[in-house]
Structure 1
Amino acid sequence: MTVVPEPRLALIGGGFSDDEDGLLDDWVLGQVRVPRPKVCFVPTASGDAPAYVERFFAAFQARSCEPSVLPLFHRELDDEALRTFVLSQDVVYVGGGSTANLLAVWRAHGVDRLLHEAFDRGTLLCGISAGANCWAEGSHTDSFGPLTHLADGLGLLSGSVCPHYDSEPGARSSYRAAVANRALPPGWALEDGVGALFTDGRLTDSVTRLPQARLYRVEPDGGGGVTEQAVPCRLLVPPHQVTPPARAR
Protein backbone atom coordinates (compact mmCIF):
# COMPACT_ATOMS: atom_id res chain seq x y z
CA MET A 1 0.00 0.00 0.00
CA THR A 2 1.36 3.41 -0.96
CA VAL A 3 1.59 5.84 1.94
CA VAL A 4 0.98 9.45 0.95
CA PRO A 5 3.04 11.90 3.06
CA GLU A 6 1.14 14.46 5.09
CA PRO A 7 0.90 17.85 3.34
CA ARG A 8 3.62 20.22 4.54
CA LEU A 9 4.71 23.78 3.95
CA ALA A 10 7.35 26.04 5.43
CA LEU A 11 7.48 29.80 5.94
CA ILE A 12 11.03 31.16 5.75
CA GLY A 13 12.31 34.44 7.11
CA GLY A 14 15.54 34.34 5.14
CA GLY A 15 17.39 31.82 3.01
CA PHE A 16 19.83 32.09 0.12
CA SER A 17 18.66 35.56 -0.93
CA ASP A 18 19.27 37.13 2.49
CA ASP A 19 21.56 34.95 4.63
CA GLU A 20 25.18 33.98 4.24
CA ASP A 21 25.20 30.95 6.55
CA GLY A 22 22.59 28.91 4.62
CA LEU A 23 21.10 27.49 7.82
CA LEU A 24 17.46 27.99 6.86
CA ASP A 25 17.97 26.45 3.42
CA ASP A 26 19.73 23.46 5.01
CA TRP A 27 16.81 23.17 7.43
CA VAL A 28 14.37 23.08 4.51
CA LEU A 29 16.33 20.36 2.70
CA GLY A 30 16.52 18.41 5.96
CA GLN A 31 12.74 18.00 5.90
CA VAL A 32 12.91 15.87 2.74
CA ARG A 33 13.82 12.23 3.26
CA VAL A 34 15.39 11.50 -0.11
CA PRO A 35 19.15 11.52 -0.87
CA ARG A 36 19.03 14.18 -3.60
CA PRO A 37 15.72 16.02 -3.49
CA LYS A 38 14.47 17.87 -6.54
CA VAL A 39 14.18 21.55 -5.60
CA CYS A 40 12.35 23.93 -7.92
CA PHE A 41 12.73 27.68 -7.48
CA VAL A 42 9.71 29.74 -8.56
CA PRO A 43 10.74 33.42 -9.04
CA THR A 44 7.36 34.69 -10.28
CA ALA A 45 7.00 37.38 -7.61
CA SER A 46 10.18 39.09 -8.84
CA GLY A 47 9.20 38.86 -12.51
CA ASP A 48 11.64 35.95 -12.96
CA ALA A 49 14.55 38.29 -12.19
CA PRO A 50 17.72 36.71 -13.69
CA ALA A 51 19.97 37.77 -10.78
CA TYR A 52 17.60 36.09 -8.31
CA VAL A 53 17.68 32.87 -10.32
CA GLU A 54 21.47 33.00 -10.45
CA ARG A 55 21.68 33.35 -6.67
CA PHE A 56 19.42 30.34 -6.25
CA PHE A 57 21.57 28.15 -8.48
CA ALA A 58 24.76 29.38 -6.83
CA ALA A 59 23.37 28.37 -3.44
CA PHE A 60 21.72 25.06 -4.32
CA GLN A 61 24.12 23.62 -6.87
CA ALA A 62 26.58 23.39 -3.98
CA ARG A 63 24.11 21.29 -1.98
CA SER A 64 23.08 17.68 -2.29
CA CYS A 65 20.00 18.27 -4.41
CA GLU A 66 18.78 18.69 -7.99
CA PRO A 67 17.93 22.40 -8.43
CA SER A 68 15.75 23.74 -11.22
CA VAL A 69 13.72 26.86 -11.96
CA LEU A 70 10.16 27.41 -13.19
CA PRO A 71 9.94 30.61 -15.30
CA LEU A 72 6.47 31.79 -16.25
CA PHE A 73 7.16 35.14 -17.94
CA HIS A 74 8.97 33.22 -20.72
CA ARG A 75 7.20 29.90 -20.32
CA GLU A 76 8.45 26.99 -22.40
CA LEU A 77 6.35 24.06 -21.11
CA ASP A 78 2.88 23.18 -22.37
CA ASP A 79 0.17 22.34 -19.83
CA GLU A 80 0.93 18.61 -19.68
CA ALA A 81 4.69 19.12 -19.36
CA LEU A 82 4.16 21.82 -16.74
CA ARG A 83 2.04 19.50 -14.61
CA THR A 84 4.55 16.67 -14.94
CA PHE A 85 7.40 18.99 -13.98
CA VAL A 86 5.69 20.51 -10.91
CA LEU A 87 4.47 17.16 -9.58
CA SER A 88 7.95 15.63 -9.94
CA GLN A 89 9.47 18.06 -7.41
CA ASP A 90 10.27 17.23 -3.79
CA VAL A 91 10.49 20.92 -2.82
CA VAL A 92 8.92 24.00 -4.40
CA TYR A 93 10.75 27.11 -3.16
CA VAL A 94 9.01 30.41 -3.93
CA GLY A 95 10.96 33.67 -3.94
CA GLY A 96 10.04 37.15 -2.76
CA GLY A 97 8.60 40.13 -4.60
CA SER A 98 4.97 41.07 -5.20
CA THR A 99 2.44 38.73 -3.61
CA ALA A 100 -0.46 40.14 -5.64
CA ASN A 101 1.37 39.78 -8.96
CA LEU A 102 2.54 36.27 -8.06
CA LEU A 103 -1.02 35.09 -7.39
CA ALA A 104 -2.35 36.66 -10.59
CA VAL A 105 0.31 35.09 -12.80
CA TRP A 106 -0.03 31.68 -11.17
CA ARG A 107 -3.76 31.67 -11.75
CA ALA A 108 -3.35 32.71 -15.37
CA HIS A 109 -1.10 29.69 -15.96
CA GLY A 110 -2.93 27.23 -13.70
CA VAL A 111 0.05 26.93 -11.38
CA ASP A 112 -2.16 27.55 -8.35
CA ARG A 113 -4.06 24.31 -9.09
CA LEU A 114 -0.85 22.38 -9.68
CA LEU A 115 0.57 23.51 -6.34
CA HIS A 116 -2.60 22.37 -4.59
CA GLU A 117 -2.14 18.98 -6.22
CA ALA A 118 1.57 18.82 -5.35
CA PHE A 119 0.80 19.79 -1.75
CA ASP A 120 -1.75 16.98 -1.44
CA ARG A 121 0.83 14.54 -2.83
CA GLY A 122 3.44 15.48 -0.24
CA THR A 123 5.66 18.01 -2.02
CA LEU A 124 7.15 20.42 0.52
CA LEU A 125 6.07 23.96 -0.36
CA CYS A 126 8.08 26.84 1.07
CA GLY A 127 9.17 30.39 0.45
CA ILE A 128 10.30 33.76 1.70
CA SER A 129 8.35 37.04 1.85
CA ALA A 130 5.77 36.84 -0.97
CA GLY A 131 6.75 33.17 -1.14
CA ALA A 132 5.56 32.78 2.44
CA ASN A 133 2.47 34.98 2.04
CA CYS A 134 1.03 33.06 -0.88
CA TRP A 135 0.20 29.84 0.98
CA ALA A 136 -2.20 31.39 3.52
CA GLU A 137 -5.77 32.66 3.23
CA GLY A 138 -4.54 36.25 3.50
CA SER A 139 -1.35 38.19 4.08
CA HIS A 140 0.29 41.49 4.90
CA THR A 141 2.00 43.00 1.88
CA ASP A 142 3.43 46.05 0.15
CA SER A 143 2.29 44.79 -3.27
CA PHE A 144 0.19 47.94 -3.72
CA GLY A 145 2.78 50.42 -2.44
CA PRO A 146 1.95 51.20 1.20
CA LEU A 147 1.69 48.29 3.63
CA THR A 148 -1.80 46.83 3.61
CA HIS A 149 -3.74 43.59 3.92
CA LEU A 150 -4.42 41.20 1.05
CA ALA A 151 -7.39 38.96 1.81
CA ASP A 152 -6.32 36.52 -0.88
CA GLY A 153 -4.03 33.52 -1.14
CA LEU A 154 -3.99 29.81 -1.97
CA GLY A 155 -5.52 28.90 1.39
CA LEU A 156 -3.23 25.92 1.99
CA LEU A 157 -2.51 27.38 5.44
CA SER A 158 -5.41 28.63 7.53
CA GLY A 159 -5.24 32.26 8.62
CA SER A 160 -2.79 34.93 7.56
CA VAL A 161 0.95 35.57 7.33
CA CYS A 162 3.09 38.64 7.93
CA PRO A 163 6.78 38.46 6.89
CA HIS A 164 9.53 40.90 7.88
CA TYR A 165 7.75 41.58 11.17
CA ASP A 166 10.82 43.16 12.73
CA SER A 167 12.62 44.66 9.72
CA GLU A 168 10.00 46.40 7.59
CA PRO A 169 9.05 49.78 9.10
CA GLY A 170 5.42 49.80 10.16
CA ALA A 171 4.85 46.09 9.55
CA ARG A 172 4.14 45.18 13.16
CA SER A 173 1.59 47.93 13.83
CA SER A 174 -0.07 47.57 10.42
CA TYR A 175 -0.47 43.79 10.70
CA ARG A 176 -1.74 44.00 14.26
CA ALA A 177 -4.34 46.57 13.14
CA ALA A 178 -5.48 44.35 10.24
CA VAL A 179 -5.95 41.39 12.57
CA ALA A 180 -7.62 43.52 15.26
CA ASN A 181 -10.23 44.90 12.86
CA ARG A 182 -10.61 41.47 11.21
CA ALA A 183 -9.46 42.63 7.79
CA LEU A 184 -7.17 39.60 8.09
CA PRO A 185 -7.81 36.39 10.02
CA PRO A 186 -5.53 35.42 12.92
CA GLY A 187 -2.11 34.36 11.76
CA TRP A 188 1.63 34.04 11.96
CA ALA A 189 4.17 36.87 12.04
CA LEU A 190 7.77 36.04 11.16
CA GLU A 191 10.80 38.03 12.11
CA ASP A 192 13.78 37.72 9.77
CA GLY A 193 15.81 34.61 10.53
CA VAL A 194 12.88 32.39 11.53
CA GLY A 195 11.50 29.25 9.88
CA ALA A 196 8.12 27.64 10.61
CA LEU A 197 7.05 24.18 9.40
CA PHE A 198 3.39 23.22 9.18
CA THR A 199 2.28 19.62 8.80
CA ASP A 200 -1.34 19.11 7.82
CA GLY A 201 -2.02 22.66 9.01
CA ARG A 202 -0.34 22.25 12.42
CA LEU A 203 2.86 24.00 13.47
CA THR A 204 5.32 21.12 13.93
CA ASP A 205 8.68 22.88 13.99
CA SER A 206 9.90 26.43 14.54
CA VAL A 207 13.55 27.41 14.18
CA THR A 208 15.74 30.48 14.06
CA ARG A 209 19.24 31.26 12.86
CA LEU A 210 19.34 34.35 15.11
CA PRO A 211 18.96 34.07 18.90
CA GLN A 212 16.80 37.20 19.06
CA ALA A 213 14.44 36.39 16.14
CA ARG A 214 10.92 35.28 16.98
CA LEU A 215 7.80 33.72 15.48
CA TYR A 216 4.50 35.10 16.77
CA ARG A 217 0.91 33.95 16.81
CA VAL A 218 -1.30 37.05 16.45
CA GLU A 219 -5.03 36.89 17.25
CA PRO A 220 -7.83 39.34 18.09
CA ASP A 221 -8.30 39.79 21.83
CA GLY A 222 -12.04 40.43 21.66
CA GLY A 223 -11.68 44.01 22.84
CA GLY A 224 -10.50 45.71 19.67
CA GLY A 225 -6.84 44.79 20.07
CA VAL A 226 -4.71 41.68 19.56
CA THR A 227 -2.78 39.13 21.54
CA GLU A 228 0.75 38.45 20.34
CA GLN A 229 2.26 35.21 21.62
CA ALA A 230 5.92 34.39 20.94
CA VAL A 231 6.47 30.78 19.87
CA PRO A 232 9.62 29.03 21.13
CA CYS A 233 12.13 28.51 18.31
CA ARG A 234 14.96 26.01 18.14
CA LEU A 235 18.30 27.72 17.43
CA LEU A 236 20.04 26.51 14.28
CA VAL A 237 23.82 26.32 14.42
CA PRO A 238 26.42 25.57 11.74
CA PRO A 239 27.47 21.90 11.66
CA HIS A 240 31.01 22.71 12.82
CA GLN A 241 29.58 24.25 16.00
CA VAL A 242 27.51 21.23 16.97
CA THR A 243 28.92 19.65 20.14
CA PRO A 244 29.19 15.87 19.74
CA PRO A 245 27.65 13.75 22.52
CA ALA A 246 29.99 12.78 25.31
CA ARG A 247 31.44 9.31 25.00
CA ALA A 248 30.43 6.81 27.64
CA ARG A 249 33.20 5.62 29.96
Structure 2
Amino acid sequence: MRQIIAMGGGGFSMEPENLLLDKYILAQVKNNLPKICFIPTASGDQTNYIERFYKAFKTLPCQPSHLSLFEPEFINLESYVLEQDIIYVGGGNTRNMLILWKEWGLDNALKKAYEKGVILAGLSAGSICWFEEGLTDPLNAPLYKLDCLGLLKGSNCPHYDGENKRKPSYHQSILAGNIKEGYAVDDGVALHFINETLSASVSSRPRAKAYFVKCVDSEIKETEVSTNFLGR
Protein backbone atom coordinates (compact mmCIF):
# COMPACT_ATOMS: atom_id res chain seq x y z
CA MET A 1 0.00 0.00 0.00
CA ARG A 2 1.39 3.37 -1.07
CA GLN A 3 0.61 6.33 1.18
CA ILE A 4 1.20 10.08 1.09
CA ILE A 5 0.00 12.52 3.78
CA ALA A 6 0.25 16.08 2.47
CA MET A 7 -0.30 18.94 4.92
CA GLY A 8 -1.11 22.51 3.95
CA GLY A 9 0.57 23.60 7.17
CA GLY A 10 0.52 22.67 10.83
CA GLY A 11 2.08 19.83 12.76
CA PHE A 12 5.01 20.47 15.08
CA SER A 13 6.37 23.10 12.65
CA MET A 14 3.47 25.50 13.17
CA GLU A 15 1.49 24.11 16.11
CA PRO A 16 3.97 22.86 18.73
CA GLU A 17 1.19 22.53 21.31
CA ASN A 18 -1.12 20.73 18.88
CA LEU A 19 0.34 17.50 17.51
CA LEU A 20 -2.91 16.00 16.21
CA LEU A 21 -1.65 15.76 12.62
CA ASP A 22 1.69 14.29 13.69
CA LYS A 23 -0.11 11.69 15.80
CA TYR A 24 -2.34 10.87 12.83
CA ILE A 25 0.72 10.23 10.66
CA LEU A 26 2.26 7.90 13.23
CA ALA A 27 -1.05 6.04 13.65
CA GLN A 28 -0.91 4.86 10.02
CA VAL A 29 1.96 2.49 10.87
CA LYS A 30 1.09 -0.82 12.53
CA ASN A 31 4.46 -0.92 14.29
CA ASN A 32 4.15 0.37 17.88
CA LEU A 33 7.42 2.31 17.52
CA PRO A 34 7.62 3.41 13.89
CA LYS A 35 10.84 4.82 12.50
CA ILE A 36 10.17 8.39 11.38
CA CYS A 37 12.85 10.34 9.53
CA PHE A 38 12.65 14.12 9.23
CA ILE A 39 14.12 15.67 6.07
CA PRO A 40 14.73 19.41 6.63
CA THR A 41 16.43 20.16 3.30
CA ALA A 42 14.01 22.95 2.34
CA SER A 43 15.01 24.96 5.41
CA GLY A 44 18.71 24.48 4.72
CA ASP A 45 18.80 22.02 7.63
CA GLN A 46 18.01 24.82 10.06
CA THR A 47 19.24 23.69 13.48
CA ASN A 48 16.25 25.10 15.34
CA TYR A 49 13.87 23.27 13.02
CA ILE A 50 15.59 19.94 13.61
CA GLU A 51 15.57 20.55 17.37
CA ARG A 52 11.84 21.28 17.29
CA PHE A 53 11.24 18.02 15.44
CA TYR A 54 13.02 16.01 18.12
CA LYS A 55 11.35 17.94 20.94
CA ALA A 56 7.93 17.04 19.54
CA PHE A 57 8.48 13.48 18.42
CA LYS A 58 10.39 12.37 21.49
CA THR A 59 7.09 12.85 23.34
CA LEU A 60 5.36 10.45 20.92
CA PRO A 61 5.66 6.65 20.49
CA CYS A 62 8.20 6.47 17.67
CA GLN A 63 11.90 6.31 16.77
CA PRO A 64 12.78 9.77 15.40
CA SER A 65 15.80 10.58 13.26
CA HIS A 66 16.72 13.13 10.62
CA LEU A 67 18.50 13.05 7.28
CA SER A 68 20.90 15.87 6.44
CA LEU A 69 22.38 16.56 3.02
CA PHE A 70 24.48 19.40 4.43
CA GLU A 71 26.15 17.33 7.19
CA PRO A 72 25.45 13.75 6.06
CA GLU A 73 25.92 10.93 8.56
CA PHE A 74 24.45 8.09 6.51
CA ILE A 75 26.64 5.48 4.82
CA ASN A 76 24.21 4.61 2.02
CA LEU A 77 21.47 7.16 1.33
CA GLU A 78 19.02 4.81 -0.38
CA SER A 79 19.37 2.09 2.25
CA TYR A 80 18.83 4.61 5.03
CA VAL A 81 15.63 5.91 3.41
CA LEU A 82 14.26 2.44 2.69
CA GLU A 83 14.62 1.28 6.29
CA GLN A 84 12.24 3.99 7.55
CA ASP A 85 8.51 3.59 8.21
CA ILE A 86 7.76 7.29 7.63
CA ILE A 87 9.55 10.07 5.78
CA TYR A 88 8.48 13.51 7.05
CA VAL A 89 9.56 16.47 4.88
CA GLY A 90 9.69 19.96 6.36
CA GLY A 91 8.88 23.33 4.87
CA GLY A 92 11.06 25.97 3.27
CA ASN A 93 12.34 26.57 -0.25
CA THR A 94 10.83 23.88 -2.48
CA ARG A 95 12.95 24.63 -5.53
CA ASN A 96 16.26 24.47 -3.67
CA MET A 97 15.13 21.29 -1.95
CA LEU A 98 14.28 19.50 -5.20
CA ILE A 99 17.56 20.55 -6.81
CA LEU A 100 19.55 19.13 -3.90
CA TRP A 101 17.49 15.96 -3.83
CA LYS A 102 18.18 15.35 -7.51
CA GLU A 103 21.90 16.02 -7.09
CA TRP A 104 22.11 13.45 -4.27
CA GLY A 105 19.70 10.96 -5.85
CA LEU A 106 17.30 11.38 -2.94
CA ASP A 107 14.38 11.94 -5.33
CA ASN A 108 14.82 8.42 -6.74
CA ALA A 109 15.33 6.93 -3.27
CA LEU A 110 12.05 8.48 -2.12
CA LYS A 111 10.23 7.07 -5.14
CA LYS A 112 11.57 3.61 -4.31
CA ALA A 113 10.54 4.05 -0.68
CA TYR A 114 7.04 5.01 -1.78
CA GLU A 115 6.70 1.88 -3.91
CA LYS A 116 7.98 -0.19 -0.98
CA GLY A 117 5.28 1.16 1.32
CA VAL A 118 7.18 3.78 3.31
CA ILE A 119 4.72 6.55 4.20
CA LEU A 120 5.66 9.92 2.70
CA ALA A 121 4.46 12.98 4.62
CA GLY A 122 5.22 16.64 5.02
CA LEU A 123 3.93 20.19 5.03
CA SER A 124 4.30 23.15 2.69
CA ALA A 125 7.37 22.27 0.58
CA GLY A 126 6.98 18.79 2.05
CA SER A 127 3.47 18.66 0.60
CA ILE A 128 4.03 20.33 -2.78
CA CYS A 129 6.91 18.01 -3.66
CA TRP A 130 4.78 14.86 -4.03
CA PHE A 131 2.50 16.31 -6.75
CA GLU A 132 3.15 16.89 -10.45
CA GLU A 133 3.18 20.64 -9.90
CA GLY A 134 3.15 23.09 -7.04
CA LEU A 135 2.80 26.79 -6.40
CA THR A 136 5.98 28.06 -4.76
CA ASP A 137 6.82 31.45 -3.27
CA PRO A 138 10.32 32.89 -3.77
CA LEU A 139 11.26 35.68 -1.39
CA ASN A 140 9.78 39.05 -2.45
CA ALA A 141 8.68 37.71 -5.85
CA PRO A 142 5.43 36.49 -7.45
CA LEU A 143 4.41 32.89 -6.91
CA TYR A 144 5.07 30.55 -9.82
CA LYS A 145 4.60 26.94 -10.91
CA LEU A 146 7.22 24.37 -9.99
CA ASP A 147 7.54 20.88 -11.48
CA CYS A 148 7.75 18.31 -8.69
CA LEU A 149 8.15 14.55 -8.20
CA GLY A 150 4.82 13.59 -9.77
CA LEU A 151 3.81 10.79 -7.41
CA LEU A 152 0.36 12.42 -7.22
CA LYS A 153 -1.52 13.87 -10.19
CA GLY A 154 -2.29 17.56 -10.51
CA SER A 155 -1.09 20.49 -8.45
CA ASN A 156 -0.95 21.51 -4.81
CA CYS A 157 -1.24 24.84 -3.01
CA PRO A 158 -0.52 24.78 0.75
CA HIS A 159 -1.18 27.61 3.25
CA TYR A 160 -4.40 28.37 1.35
CA ASP A 161 -5.85 30.36 4.25
CA GLY A 162 -2.58 31.30 5.90
CA GLU A 163 -0.84 33.48 3.30
CA ASN A 164 -2.78 36.24 1.54
CA LYS A 165 -1.18 35.84 -1.90
CA ARG A 166 -1.69 32.08 -2.15
CA LYS A 167 -5.36 31.90 -3.09
CA PRO A 168 -5.43 34.61 -5.79
CA SER A 169 -2.16 33.40 -7.31
CA TYR A 170 -3.39 29.80 -7.45
CA HIS A 171 -6.67 30.88 -9.06
CA GLN A 172 -4.90 33.06 -11.62
CA SER A 173 -2.45 30.30 -12.52
CA ILE A 174 -5.22 27.75 -13.06
CA LEU A 175 -7.34 30.19 -15.09
CA ALA A 176 -4.36 31.02 -17.31
CA GLY A 177 -3.60 27.34 -17.83
CA ASN A 178 -0.16 27.78 -16.28
CA ILE A 179 -0.74 25.11 -13.65
CA LYS A 180 -2.91 22.01 -13.50
CA GLU A 181 -6.05 21.79 -11.41
CA GLY A 182 -5.45 20.43 -7.95
CA TYR A 183 -5.77 20.65 -4.20
CA ALA A 184 -5.72 23.83 -2.14
CA VAL A 185 -5.14 23.09 1.54
CA ASP A 186 -5.53 25.29 4.60
CA ASP A 187 -3.04 25.31 7.45
CA GLY A 188 -3.92 22.50 9.84
CA VAL A 189 -5.31 20.15 7.16
CA ALA A 190 -3.74 16.93 5.86
CA LEU A 191 -4.79 15.07 2.73
CA HIS A 192 -4.24 11.31 3.02
CA PHE A 193 -3.71 9.55 -0.29
CA ILE A 194 -3.68 5.76 -0.57
CA ASN A 195 -2.48 4.30 -3.87
CA GLU A 196 -2.68 7.79 -5.45
CA THR A 197 -6.37 8.23 -4.50
CA LEU A 198 -7.57 10.67 -1.86
CA SER A 199 -8.73 8.53 1.04
CA ALA A 200 -9.28 11.07 3.82
CA SER A 201 -8.89 14.69 4.80
CA VAL A 202 -8.21 15.44 8.46
CA SER A 203 -7.58 18.60 10.43
CA SER A 204 -6.09 19.84 13.67
CA ARG A 205 -8.24 23.00 13.56
CA PRO A 206 -12.08 22.91 13.68
CA ARG A 207 -12.71 25.22 10.72
CA ALA A 208 -9.74 24.36 8.49
CA LYS A 209 -10.66 23.11 5.03
CA ALA A 210 -9.30 21.68 1.78
CA TYR A 211 -10.62 22.20 -1.74
CA PHE A 212 -10.26 20.75 -5.20
CA VAL A 213 -9.80 23.73 -7.50
CA LYS A 214 -10.34 23.68 -11.26
CA CYS A 215 -11.36 25.91 -14.16
CA VAL A 216 -14.92 25.48 -15.50
CA ASP A 217 -16.12 27.73 -18.35
CA SER A 218 -13.31 30.21 -17.70
CA GLU A 219 -14.23 30.49 -14.03
CA ILE A 220 -12.70 28.99 -10.89
CA LYS A 221 -14.70 26.25 -9.22
CA GLU A 222 -13.80 25.22 -5.66
CA THR A 223 -15.18 21.91 -4.41
CA GLU A 224 -14.79 21.53 -0.66
CA VAL A 225 -13.21 18.27 0.50
CA SER A 226 -15.02 16.67 3.44
CA THR A 227 -12.62 17.05 6.36
CA ASN A 228 -12.65 15.30 9.74
CA PHE A 229 -11.52 17.35 12.74
CA LEU A 230 -9.23 15.13 14.79
CA GLY A 231 -9.97 16.96 18.04
CA ARG A 232 -13.47 15.59 18.39
Shorter-chain TM-score tier: over 0.9
Q: Does 1:15 align with 2:8?
A: no
Aligned residue in 1 for 2:81: 86
Aligned ranges 1:122-137 → 2 under 5 Å: 122-137=117-132
Give the secondary-structure state (helix, strand or coil) at the position aligned to 1:9: strand
Aligned residue in 2 for 1:230: 224
Shift of 1:185: 0.7
**Contact 1:209 1:235 (C-alpha < 8 Å) held by counterparts:** yes
In 1: Cα distance, 2:140 partner to 2:30 partner: 40
Q: Which runs of 5+ in 1 are unaligned?
A: 1-5, 243-249
Amino acid at match of 1:24: L
Aligned residue in 2 for 1:34: 31
Aligned ranges 1:1-249 → 2 under 5 Å: 6-12=1-7, 13-19=9-15, 20-78=17-75, 81-143=76-138, 145-221=140-216, 223-237=217-231
Taking structure 2 as the reference length, what is the TM-score of the superposition?
Answer: 0.96
Bigger Rg, structure 1 or 2: 1
Give the secondary-structure state (helix, strand or coil) at the position aligned to 1:176: helix
Identical aligned pairs, as a percentage? 41
When the two chains are superposed, the root-mean-square deviation of aligned CA atoms in Å is 1.1
**Contact 2:39 2:88 (C-alpha < 8 Å) held by counterparts:** yes
Give the secondary-structure state (helix, strand or coil) at the position aligned to 1:16: helix
Shift of 1:144: 5.5
State the Cα deviation string for residues 71-96 of structure 1 (Å, max 9, x = none). 00122334xx2111100000000000
**Contact 2:193 2:200 (C-alpha < 8 Å) held by counterparts:** yes
**Contact 1:42 1:94 (C-alpha < 8 Å) held by counterparts:** yes
Aligned length: 230
Give the secondary-structure state (helix, strand or coil) at the position aligned to 2:11: coil
Aligned residue in 2 for 1:246: none
Give the secondary-structure state (helix, strand or coil) at the position aligned to 1:52: helix
Q: Which runs of 5+ in 2 are unaligned?
A: none
Shift of 1:224: 2.1
Higher RCO, 1 vs 2 (CA within 8 Å, ≥6 residues apart): 2
State the Cα deviation string for residues 90-123 of structure 1 (Å, max 9, x = none). 0000000000001000000000000000000000
State the Cα deviation string for residues 165-223 of structure 1 (Å, max 9, x = none). 011011101001111112111110110111110011111011112121100000111x2
In 2: Cα distance, 1:209 partner to 1:145 partner: 30
